[in-house]
Amino acid sequence: MYDYDLLVVGSANADLVIGVERRPGAGETVLGTDLAVHPGGKGANQAVAAARLGARTALLARVGDDDYGRLLLDSQRAAGVDTVGVLVGGAPTGVALITVDPSGDNSIVVSPGANGRLAPGDVRAAASLFHASRVVSTQLEVPLETVVEVVRSLAPGSRFVLNPSPPLPLPREVLDACDPLIVNEHEAKVILGDACVSDRPEDWARILLAKGPRSVVVTLGAEGALVASGAEVSRVPSVKVDAVDTTGAGDAFTAALAWRLGTGASLAQAAAYAARVGAAAVTRAGAQASYPTAAEVDAL
């Protein structure tokens, strides 16, 4: 019935990465390692992560007609992603400036570039992709009105997964479609706003559910994750590994979870698998280059 297990609608960036001993304070300069350039962006990352795991994956995104755009297209095709939905031109390819400290934690500043030109009309023009996809996943590195159009374009019976990063207040139309809404601590607090009156992630999940999503996943880093659906909230344990670089790990988690939900796994089962995928990803440097195959996840 479906040609694709997962359609990812979202951003494609060139990641410009520098290792630092510590992040600079205001007005301070620190020296770092040599610049490394990697294919990235939340949408492109999720598509590659899913394809590496064996999912039939397509990407709807926009890149510039430049070297960074060609780098991103090459990376998608090498992973087995169908790039028929990747549009070229309109602005330079988006760029993410990333610093990584010795613990593997990162700080990121994004220049959206062509991602900001992915418009609702582009979504409508890709109707055939939506009708051919079992699960559709997106993020907020593209315009919010484009995400709203994604929700309106969903085929009957398909599932919508949203990671609202970077976080913004979301319209009810989008919240009602999420199954699940995937947030980390920071994203949960932004979306909850004044409703965030508790320090307990379990409470965040319940309040988020009350805002409309059909299910919610709260990622907690080394503490694992929470999954919430209906009246049930349960913990998913983390997988202990030595972290090298956390860049793109959340995207790997989201992609793995979205794909497994499409195969019929329960929310808890999908999240447990996604936690293993995310753990494997942080043991290697970079975003897309760190994503494991299904065999590597099974070995972990």
Residue 246 in marked binding region: no
Task: Determine the residue type at 269.
Answer: Q
| Dihedral (Cα; 26, 27, 33, 34), 10-degree rounding | 120
Residue 290 in marked binding region: yes
Residue 163 in marked binding region: no
Residue 223 in marked binding region: yes
Residue 15 in marked binding region: yes
101 a catalytic residue = no
196 vs 248: CA distance, rounded Å: 27
Residue 115 in marked binding region: no
One-character DSSP codes across 164-190: --S-----HHHHHHEEEEEE-HHHHHH
Cβ atoms of 83 and 73 closer than 8 Å: yes
Q: CA-based angle 264:258:126, to the nearest 5?
A: 110
Q: One of 5, 82, 179, 251 is an active-site residue; which one?
A: 251
Residue 221 in marked binding region: yes
Cα radius of gyration (the chain): 18
141 vs 13: CA distance, rounded Å: 10
Residue 14 in marked binding region: yes
Residue 250 in marked binding region: yes
Give the tokens for residue 226.
């929470």
CB atoms within 10 A of CB 51: 26
Residue 219 in marked binding region: yes
**Binding region for substrate:** 13-15, 41-45, 141, 251
**Binding region:** 13-15, 41-45, 141, 184, 219-224, 245, 247, 250-251, 281, 284, 286, 290
Q: Which residues are catalytic?
A: 251
**Binding region for ATP:** 184, 219-224, 250-251
